[in-house]
Chain A
Amino acid sequence: MKHHTVTKGFTHQNQKHDSAVKQVTGRAEYTDDIAEPAGTLHAYLGVSDVAHAKLNGIDLSKVRDADGVVAVLTADDIPGANDISPTGRNDEPVFPTEKIEFHGQPLFAVIAETRDAARRAAELAEVDCDVLPHAIDPVSARDAGMPLITEPLKLERGDIDKGFATAQNRIKGQVTVGGQDHMYLEGHIAFAVPGEDEDVVVHCSTQHPSEAQHMVAHVLGVPSNAVVVNVRRMGGGFGGKESQMNLFCAVAAIGAKKLGRPVKIRPDRDQDMTATGKRHDFVIDYDIGFDNDGRIEAVSGEFAARCGYSSDLSGPVTDRALFHADNAYFYPHVRLTSRPQKTNTVSNTAFRGFGGPQGVIAAERMIEEIAFALDKDPLDVRKANFYGDGTDGRNLTPYHQSVDDNIIGRVVEELEESSDYRARREGIRAFNAKGGILRRGIALTPVKFGISFTATHYNQAGALIHVYNDGSIHLNHGGTEMGQGLNTKVAQVVAEAFQVDFNRIKITKTTTEKVPNTSATAASSGSDLNGMAALNAAEQIKARLVSFAAESRGVSEDAVSFGPTGISIGTDVVPFDKLVKEAYMARVHLSATGFYKTPDIHWDRAAGKGRPFYYYAYGAACSEVTIDTLTGEYRVERADILHDVGRSLNPALDKGQVEGAFIQGMGWLTTEELWWDDEGRLRTHAPSTYKIPLASDRPREFNVKLADWSENREMTIKRSKAVGEPPFMLGISVFEALSMAVASVADYRICPRLEAPATPERVLLAVERLKAGA
């Protein structure tokens, strides 16, 4: 029998996830587990079965007459604005009134006594519409003359024409990168309980409670102070619950206020996947000029994205693709443009990396092109193009921010050695030279990822700490818990501040009642922002306690310090509870709100210049694969990862983020395929048809290490770095390794130009194309 070690649970320690015991026993409560008050009703969405049409009307009589139906909600039932667009562009109605813009678009909601009754009734509507032509991918939509969904971005530096003119080599190409469904295990859900006057409380699964609050207020036509949004935890988010919950929260709240009864809405998995947005697919046209040593001279790229029918977050997502189209490489002359293309599909949204991964894919494809053109090891091409150290004039990004914290060289060199990349590559080439059915490939790819919301005003956070007079501590902050361990990390920060045991701190649900105007828990920013805000609150209370302790014992404040056994006051050591009790009796204020805003960042989008990122996180992965050239099937033999999280707040949780992100990134580029039919209907809409990685898809050998020597040079919380998104792009090493394995069938003479996701089918077809010499 093993014993739990007693830990104080301070930072830089492997504190366990605060909900771990509840999760393994089934006692962790998710929104659908909350006990329903008597009279709770259930809503379900009725959706369109065409991709594009003029909407003439909907006959809902059969729906209303169905068993158990209490009400049907249409656009006419919305008391406030029929709009849930997260960026205020007013292009995303709760329910459309004039046109249908994608297959599966919600048109109305049924409210019934049971979820089953609502679901059955929702099928009975008769939609009167005139079908219009549709275009579902960015290329055919552009060809059909469909508009951009939001303003494109251009990043430019240097003189691109001159760069190409003087380059010794030039290659143009195109890469198609598929989208990705979030496939959080807990789907969307919202549960609204009406209150008195205009009030409503919404329990839901969202990364952005403040936005849900503002949207509910907006559709109800009430001030935000009438709406409370609560999130205890999510069963996964990954960006899919940053804006996509708006619809469900709105419907539940409208129903609850209209009927005066609690209303819950939970779509089934198929509806969740068809009616909510995903990662943007991209078609990227690139043009590179480079010298005979493989050094890039000039890059131009156009990034067209399938944005769907509304803007949602497509503006910032396509922006971030451009911000990461350099990955870790210096482009002397560069011009990058985005094409956020409107399409007749569900509106795509945030997903871990937020466009960044698609930018990085483009950079890595260009590296590949150069390597094949010059018959070089792609790793040598990568290294030749890394950003410099600030002394060589090679550290300016396409958005004119200088890379001042560059550690990619050291990360890659350490991994190159620990993974034994060179020797394995030689061995693999020798194996492939025998010309067998199975071919192997290895690739080592870097990642550099910019940390901060590019919408600068989002880089703020609040926290609230109460110390009760028994010495127990209540912690609240604006971030949400979706599995990443944010609450655990923030509690570690607070435990360390007060030098108290982790278990003394009660972590509570995120609620708009306690911390207002929060930002989405997104952009990997959760602990950077909320950790600092909580620390700020803790420091305020500490200062009051120090002041009280000094005064009460007649010592100077310098003589007071917090330690693990209590507060040292002169020569005394007073237990935390005792000092708190005394402070309370002396009427010391034991509650504080904390606040933080990221310093030194600014961004001028029109000019394409600024410092959008506070710092960068770095990492590298080396993956080896075997492919079967008869079927295109493959297996990941080994992956080695070295990843930078600065001084980790919690190495165990950070390692979990790195491992999970790698597998999710690998899934995006391998087996996860979104497939629409000619009618514009998504046919991969549940785990039976949409295949995320399983345990047996893990690399057969998986070595994951944090760069424990790294420390954030900026004043982040305990010098840590963000971890949510950056390691997602480590999965690209698997994609590149597959490409190398495919290339072997044509003796590495041809760049395989593999498309993503590299399903067994795409691998086989690439193999056969290369064998045919194309």
Chain B
Amino acid sequence: MTHQTAIRFLLNGEEKTLTDVKATQTLLDYLRIEQRLTGTKEGCAEGDCGACTVLVGRLYNGALRYETVNACIRFLASLNGCHIVTIEHLSGPNGRLHPVQEAMVEHHGSQCGFCTPGFVMSLYALWMEKPQPTETEVETALQGNLCRCTGYEPIIKAALAVNEYGTPAHDYLNAERENLLAQLGALQPEGRIETGPADDRAILPHTTEDLAQVLADNPKATIVAGSTDVGLWVTKFMRPISPVVFVNHLEDLKAIETTEDALSIGAGVTYSECEAAISAAFPHLEEYWNRIAGWQVRNMGTIGGNIANGSPIGDTPPVLISLGAEVTLQSTKGRRTLPLEAFFIDYGKQDRAPEEFVASIRIPLPSEGQIDAAYKVSKRRDEDISAVAAGFSVVVENGKITSVNLAFGGMAATPKRAAKAEAALVGNRWCSEAFEHAADAIAEDFTPLSDWRASADYRARVAGNLLRRFYLEHDNSQGSDADMPVRLAV
């Protein structure tokens, strides 16, 4: 069978067609080395500093959506049919500064300047979405951008003032939206794309059925969605990953459906894409969702990737397990569904056959009397990997705990439920004694590790204390005291 072998995209104002694109070719190296667009910087090559932030525009539900991404861990071959916008494209043809740039200059927002292009791109994306953001929205947009010089104060002030220097209506990407949409439409592939040398091959299946076929033919392939983890396998560990099957472009992995009893999310849906649906169905996850990585990574990373990856410290598995989520896997042989907690077998081992892929996740909506909570404890509040993450789901009927699901990340080799703590609660009355027993039982449930994120002792104490917090936050017996909050304000 012959397939398209070229990757086609828009780079700033120019259409590019590249053949023989290596699967592991990063967008950043392409920009800096091959295109000499050196405004985009490498600060860490692991998606944690934001110096390489660029915008990627893509078709999504028929519209054109621009998002910040980390060029350092984004693979070029995954950008077929997209519009890549770099810092060089912001000031107009006459060289006049863009409003975001002007605000940054006027507010002394740059010192050494190395992080600055990345900040400008993040603020640009924010301004297009929210021309008059709140301070909290600015901070959220900048979760993935590190600055070591300014202490951020002038950058925040600049961000809040951008609209004084110009409005998004006149911005190039808005003014040209129809044209760009048409141009990108013409770049969408007719079928599967295969490109790159034999030892570094990239495959972009056309549909999920095609994906199943590709995996049946290439069971050793590496499936890459957002590349927020696999990107590091390449940039940090130089691990060979060929052949690579990119799935981030597959529209049919991007469905979000709410039925009467569940929310279903396609495996290819990014954190950003499902943020609204998640928050609507599970209000307790709204704050938690914003603490998953930084904005760029949430724009790239997918819920399917976070699960399939099998990490014991992924942010979504504990909270999804506690909600009783199920995962559906697919291959040419069909589909099968299993409870998410059963998917994680052991460290580095999941219940997924080589030719299978994660297709979707189904999260039951809360039932009557169900109390849910999600907690993440990390060294730094934002853009950090959790020391301990927890999802709690408890059903209370007539003052009695009838059902309990306590799932933890960071406590074992897999995301795991606390069976003994659950047993200490279920069947008991809702009272502090029951939760004290449950908190004590955590020590029997888990033997966590000590590492650079936290000691075993700290993890164990915190896990127990999170149960105490859960009780305090949801206990109405004492009457609520607004002056005595039990959790730090956001």
Q: Which residues of A contact B (CB under 8 A)?
A: 1-2, 4, 14, 16-17, 19-30, 32-33, 35, 119-120, 123, 182-187, 233-238, 268-270, 434, 436-438, 482-485, 626, 628, 630-635, 652-653, 656, 659-664, 671, 673, 675, 683-684, 686-689, 691-698, 702, 704, 759-761, 764-765, 768
Q: Do the beta carbons of A1 and B461 come within 8 Å of each other?
A: no
Which B residues lie within 8 Å of A671 (CB)?
379-380
Q: Do the beta carbons of B472 and A437 come within 8 Å of each other?
A: yes
A693 to B120, CA, bound (A): 19
Q: Do the beta carbons of A683 and B451 come within 8 Å of each other?
A: yes
Stretch at the interface among B144-152, B402-410, B416-424: B144-152
A652 to B40, CA, bound (A): 27
Out of A2, A29, A233, A764, which one reaches B112, CB within 8 Å?
A233
Stretch at the interface among B45-53, B247-255, B302-310, B358-366: B45-53
Contact with A along B222-242 (1 / 0, CB 8 A): 000000000010011010000
Q: Do the beta carbons of A20 and B108 come within 8 Å of each other?
A: yes
Q: Do the beta carbons of A702 and B110 come within 8 Å of each other?
A: no
Q: Do the beta carbons of B151 and A438 come within 8 Å of each other?
A: no
Out of A628, A692, A695, A760, which one reaches B148, CB within 8 Å?
A692
Q: Do the beta carbons of A687 and B238 come within 8 Å of each other?
A: no
Which B residues lie within 8 Å of A434 (CB)?
483-484
Q: Give min CB distance, B230 to chain A, whole Å.
A: 14
Q: Do the beta carbons of A659 and B153 come within 8 Å of each other?
A: yes
Q: Do the beta carbons of B110 and A23 come within 8 Å of each other?
A: yes
B444 touches A (CB below 8 Å)? no
Q: Do the beta carbons of B487 and A628 come within 8 Å of each other?
A: yes
Q: Give min CB distance, B133 to chain A, whole Å.
A: 12
A4 to B457, CA, bound (A): 57
B104 touches A (CB below 8 Å)? yes
Q: Do the beta carbons of B113 and A698 come within 8 Å of each other?
A: no
B59 touches A (CB below 8 Å)? no
Q: Do the beta carbons of A628 and B488 come within 8 Å of each other?
A: yes
A764 to B485, CA, bound (A): 18
Which B residues lie within 8 Å of A662 (CB)?
151
Out of B38, B49, B238, B483, which one reaches A123, CB within 8 Å?
B238
Q: Do the beta carbons of B452 and A185 come within 8 Å of each other?
A: no
Which B residues lie within 8 Å of A269 (CB)?
43-46
If A185-B49, A186-B114, A702-B153 touch, whether A438 touches B108 (CB-CB below 8 Å) is no
A124 to B154, CA, bound (A): 46
Which A residues lie within 8 Å of B104 (CB)?
20, 24
Q: Give min CB distance, B411 to chain A, whole Å.
A: 14
Residue of B nearest to A676 (CB): B452
A663 to B457, CA, bound (A): 29
Residue among A29, A33, A436, A696 facing the most chain B CB atoms (10 A cut-off)? A696
Q: Do the beta carbons of B151 and A698 come within 8 Å of each other?
A: yes
Interface residues on B, range: 35 or more
Q: Do the beta carbons of A663 and B152 come within 8 Å of each other?
A: yes
If A270-B236, A633-B377, A664-B151 touch, whether A656 touches B120 (CB-CB below 8 Å) is no
Q: Do the beta carbons of B39 and A631 come within 8 Å of each other?
A: no
Stretch at the interface among B211-219, B272-280, B381-389, B426-434: B381-389
Which A residues lie within 8 Å of B87 (CB)?
25-26
If A119-B238, A185-B146, A687-B44 touch, whether A16 touches B108 (CB-CB below 8 Å) is yes
Which B residues lie within 8 Å of A17 (CB)?
108, 110-111
Residue among B36, B149, B166 facing the most chain A CB atoms (10 A cut-off)? B149
A120 to B38, CA, bound (A): 24
Q: Do the beta carbons of A25 and B91 come within 8 Å of each other?
A: yes
Residue among B379, B383, B455, B486 facing the most chain A CB atoms (10 A cut-off)? B379
If A24-B97, A691-B379, A691-B384 touch, whether A484 touches B111 (CB-CB below 8 Å) is yes
A652 to B158, CA, bound (A): 14
Out of B40, B90, B143, B387, which one reaches A694, CB within 8 Å?
B143
Q: Do the beta carbons of A686 and B147 come within 8 Å of each other?
A: no
Q: Do the beta carbons of B105 and A691 come within 8 Å of each other?
A: no
Enumerate the 3 nearest inter-chain pairs by beta-carbon distance, A residue then B residue, closest first. A26-B39, A235-B114, A483-B112
Which A residues lie within 8 Å of B466 (CB)?
630-631
Q: Do the beta carbons of B38 and A652 come within 8 Å of each other?
A: no
Q: Which residues of B contact A (CB under 8 A)?
A: 32, 36-46, 48-49, 51, 86-88, 90-91, 97, 100-102, 104-106, 108-117, 120, 138-140, 142-143, 145-156, 164-166, 232, 235-236, 238, 377-385, 387, 451-455, 457-458, 461-462, 465-466, 468-469, 472, 483-489
Out of B106, B457, B486, which one reaches A436, CB within 8 Å?
B486
Q: Do the beta carbons of B156 and A698 come within 8 Å of each other?
A: yes
Which A residues lie within 8 Å of B153 (CB)?
659, 698, 702, 704
Q: Do the beta carbons of A686 and B238 come within 8 Å of each other?
A: no
Which B residues lie within 8 Å of A630 (CB)?
462, 465-466, 468-469, 486
Q: Give min CB distance, A585 to chain B, whole Å.
A: 36
Q: Do the beta carbons of B139 and A696 come within 8 Å of each other?
A: yes
A633 to B487, CA, bound (A): 10
Q: Do the beta carbons of B458 and A438 come within 8 Å of each other?
A: no
A673 to B452, CA, bound (A): 8
A110 to B424, CA, bound (A): 60
- Dominant secondary structure at the B interface: loop
Could you list 14 A-B pairs, sorted by A, with CB under 8 Å? A2-B106, A23-B113, A24-B117, A269-B45, A438-B488, A482-B112, A626-B488, A635-B489, A656-B150, A671-B379, A687-B46, A688-B385, A693-B151, A760-B387
Which B residues lie within 8 Å of A692 (CB)?
146, 148
Which A residues lie within 8 Å of B113 (CB)?
19-20, 22-24, 28, 233, 235, 483
Residue of B nearest to A652 (CB): B108
Out of B164, B232, B382, which one reaches A2, CB within 8 Å?
B164
* Given contact pairs A235-B41, A761-B455, a sample of 7 additional A-B residue pairs in the complex whose CB atoms are under 8 Å apart: A24-B110, A27-B39, A434-B483, A436-B486, A630-B468, A696-B382, A704-B153
A296 to B138, CA, bound (A): 47
Residue of B nearest to A120 (CB): B238
Which A residues lie within 8 Å of B139 (CB)?
694-696
Q: Do the beta carbons of A687 and B146 come within 8 Å of each other?
A: yes
Residue among B108, B232, B453, B455 facing the most chain A CB atoms (10 A cut-off)? B108
Which B residues lie within 8 Å of A185 (CB)?
41, 43, 49, 51, 112, 114-115, 146-148
A25 to B148, CA, bound (A): 19
Q: Do the beta carbons of A765 and B458 come within 8 Å of each other?
A: yes
If A35-B36, A631-B462 touch, whether A688 touches B110 (CB-CB below 8 Å) is no
Q: Do the beta carbons of A686 and B46 come within 8 Å of each other?
A: yes
A431 to B214, CA, bound (A): 63
If A25-B97, A185-B147, A695-B142 touch, whether A631 touches B108 (CB-CB below 8 Å) is no
Q: Do the beta carbons of A760 and B108 come within 8 Å of each other?
A: no
Q: Give min CB distance, B57 to chain A, whole Å.
A: 18
Q: Do the beta carbons of B44 and A664 come within 8 Å of each other?
A: no
Q: Do the beta carbons of A687 and B151 come within 8 Å of each other?
A: no
Residue of A nearest to B117 (CB): A26
Residue among A17, A20, A23, A693 facing the most chain B CB atoms (10 A cut-off)? A23
Which A residues lie within 8 Å of B86 (CB)?
26
Q: Do the beta carbons of A238 and B148 come within 8 Å of each other?
A: yes
Which B residues lie within 8 Å of A631 (CB)?
377, 462, 465-466, 469
Q: Do the beta carbons of B452 and A184 come within 8 Å of each other?
A: no
If A437-B486, A630-B465, A630-B466 touch, whether A691 touches B380 (CB-CB below 8 Å) is yes
Out of A25, A183, A696, A760, which one reaches B379, CB within 8 Å?
A760
Q: Give min CB distance, B410 to chain A, whole Å.
A: 13
Q: Give min CB distance, A9 to chain B, whole Å.
A: 14
Q: Give min CB distance, B488 to chain A, whole Å.
A: 5
Q: Give min CB distance, A507 to chain B, whole Å.
A: 14
If A26-B38, A687-B48 touch, whether A694 touches B146 (CB-CB below 8 Å) is yes
Q: Do the beta carbons of B452 and A684 come within 8 Å of each other?
A: yes
Q: Give min CB distance, A113 to chain B, whole Å.
A: 12
Q: Do the beta carbons of B150 and A660 come within 8 Å of each other?
A: yes
Q: Do the beta carbons of B381 and A697 come within 8 Å of each other?
A: yes
Q: Do the beta carbons of B488 and A660 come within 8 Å of each other?
A: no
Which B residues lie within 8 Å of A14 (CB)?
108
A268 to B38, CA, bound (A): 17
A120 to B240, CA, bound (A): 11
